[in-house]
Amino acid sequence: MEPWLCGTCGVEYDPVPSPPSACWICEDERQWVPRDGQRWTTASELRRAGYRSSLRWLEEGLLGIGVEPAVGIGQRALAVVGDRGVVVFDAAPLLDEDAAATIRSLGPVVALCFSHPHFYGAAVTWAELLGAERILVPQVDAAWFVRSSERVALYDDDVVELGEVELRRIGGHFPGSSVLWWPGGAEGRGVLLTGDSLSVNARGDGVTVMWSFPNHLPLAPQVVEAILAHIEPVCFDRLYGGWWDSVIPSAAKEAVYRSLGRYLELLTMPPTVTGPAGGPTEPGAEDASG
Ligand SMILES: [Zn+2]
Ligand SMILES: [Zn+2]
């Protein structure tokens, strides 16, 4: 028997004869169940349909691990390769044996860790294929890790040191939402891996944070301020979000502060103001007095 994969979020469930009655992650307000109902698949079914792992080096020491064509919510994982081993941040629904062998050849896989539950993917299958001893899951989000495994190691700390990188909890989207800080990345200027704990915007020049992305529900100003306070001590120049295109190549910390500053400005705009500043001038407005 194979683990069941949710067709919408790509998270894996225990290998039992029938799939669960629902995907708990997609039933939650922060995801969605398709209008025509819950779908289930398996890794074999995805392979028969042509899905394959995709590995891409994003910079020296940082390997992207995705699936092509995109499956689930289309996310890609990241592996930081250091002298003290490999740390894998996030997971996708599928990992091919040859891709796993390539990753294993880079060094011992110290741990799998995650930005948040939407990116748990096929974490247990990945850990088995990669020979990873530990799947690090924050205690506050433990209920969302829906597949059982002896490799799951719950933790409570806000900062978990993992060799060359640090897993840092910033909260927001989920109580355990985290980022992985890699001080040696970007030629020593520092890299932050964020999944959608900080979600890179369409222009690639800032980020946003949300309670629910698909349902467009924002976070409260105090929560956004707490996220910024968690980011404050971390030095980084480059930021990688949860998808191939989600990259802020330089001056990323400034971009985080600028974009979340704007977010706070809009959230706390006084009620007498009817719209944001900077919109197009109404046609004919200049002639209103004439
Ligand atoms: Zn799901
Ligand atoms: Zn999410």
Q: Count CB atoms within 10 A of the CB of residue 167.
A: 24
Closest-approaching ligand to the CA atom of 7:
1
Closest-approaching ligand to the CA atom of 72:
1
Radius of gyration from C-alpha coordinates of the chain: 20
Q: Which residue has the higher pLDDT, 173 or 72?
A: 173
Q: Is 19 left (phi over 0), alpha (psi -120 to 50) or beta?
A: beta
> What's the rounded Cα separation, in Å, for the pair 64 and 76?
6
Please tell me the distance between residue 9's alpha carbon and the centre of ligand 2 in angstroms. 9
Task: Give the pair of three-digit tokens for residue 156.
Answer: 């409570």
User: Which position has the token pair 């922060």?
Assistant: 30
Q: Is the pLDDT of residue 273 over 80?
A: no
Task: Tell me if 38 sits within 8 A of 20, measured CB to CB.
Answer: no
**What are the pLDDT digits (tens) for 50-92?**
999 999 999 999 999 999 999 888 899 999 999 999 999 999 9
Tell me the percentage of the chain whose pLDDT exceeds 90. Answer: 91
Please tell me the distance between residue 72's alpha carbon and the centre of ligand 1 in angstroms. 8
Its pTM stands at 0.92
Q: Is the pLDDT of residue 286 over 60?
A: no
Please tell me the distance between residue 24's alpha carbon and the centre of ligand 1 in angstroms. 7
Please tell me the distance between residue 227's alpha carbon and the centre of ligand 1 in angstroms. 26
> What's the rounded Cα separation, in Å, for the pair 133 and 8?
28
Closest-approaching ligand to the CA atom of 197:
2
Closest-approaching ligand to the CA atom of 9:
1
Residues within 5 A (CB) of ion ligand 2: 118, 196
pLDDT in the model for residue 290: 39
pLDDT average, residue stretch 169-188: 98
Please tell me the distance between residue 118's alpha carbon and the centre of ligand 2 in angstroms. 5
pLDDT in the model for residue 272: 73
pLDDT in the model for residue 280: 65
Please tell me the distance between residue 34's alpha carbon and the centre of ligand 1 in angstroms. 10
pLDDT in the model for residue 103: 98
Secondary structure class of 118 (helix, strand, coil): helix
**What are the pLDDT digits (tens) for 129-158?**
999 989 999 999 999 999 999 999 999 999
Q: Is the pLDDT of residue 288 over 60?
A: no
pLDDT band at residue 200 under the 50/70/90 scheme: very high
Q: Is the pLDDT of residue 285 over 80?
A: no
Task: Tell me if 210 sits within 8 A of 216, measured CB to CB.
Answer: yes
Number of residues that this document lists for the chain: 290
Please tell me the distance between residue 26's alpha carbon and the centre of ligand 1 in angstroms. 4
Closest-approaching ligand to the CA atom of 25:
1
DSSP letter (8 states) at residue 201: P
Closest-approaching ligand to the CA atom of 208:
2
